[in-house]
Structure 1
């Protein structure tokens, strides 16, 4: 009898041990799926944040570049006025050629910026989208001014 009693005791101990280790597999699967969904959502949010930061940096860079290019354009206009004071026709033609080359580079910058801003159909936030549209207008105005200067040369 003692062997039977020991065996029962061992069985009881084993059952208790199994019950203490036992976990609900369905709950585990559901919890794992929830964590995976949360991770996916966090990854998407992080990607949106990275994209927004990139768009902010792009807008800031574009604003600064347009400002610098406007300064370059004004400098070229001053050079045109100085060119008109030259007396040597050969020198005037060489200066005109150099100025046209510089104007073409500014024109290409304006067109490239418009293309780059137009490639992104929509920025992440309303504020960034408004900045993008304003930058397109600014670049368009700049490009038109460059064309006007080239034609007057």
Structure 2
């Protein structure tokens, strides 16, 4: 797979606009762990290797455990995530898959048990933002760095 082109260089103004939204998300008061969770899950759903790689590394850098990071893709099957995280993951999936499923009432009811209206708007804005990044990176085939190839023991 070859990159198509560097979208940030092709349209710096577009990049700046999305980056400004990203900066807002990082400073809006949401818990960093929750931001990591929704970014990683949305990126997995969208098949964005560039963003999955980045958000795994960021979560690891911020001290989240390997197990917590690794099981995001199978969160429903793991008791590792608390009720707030599970509500956030379910909401992330519903919002990310909006074209296929709409946003059902059940995920909304669940997220409202754990987050205020303001927090739900901020969370939904964060989900929308990572979905924009995913669409840019997937569309233009952004390449993540290869840190090291797997080595069999």
With the length of structure 2 as denominator, give the TM-score of the two structures: 0.27
Select the structure that is richer in helix.
1
Give the structure, 1 or 2, with the largest relative contact order (CA under 8 Å, sep 6 or more). 2
Rg larger in 1 or in 2? 1
With the length of structure 1 as denominator, give the TM-score of the two structures: 0.27
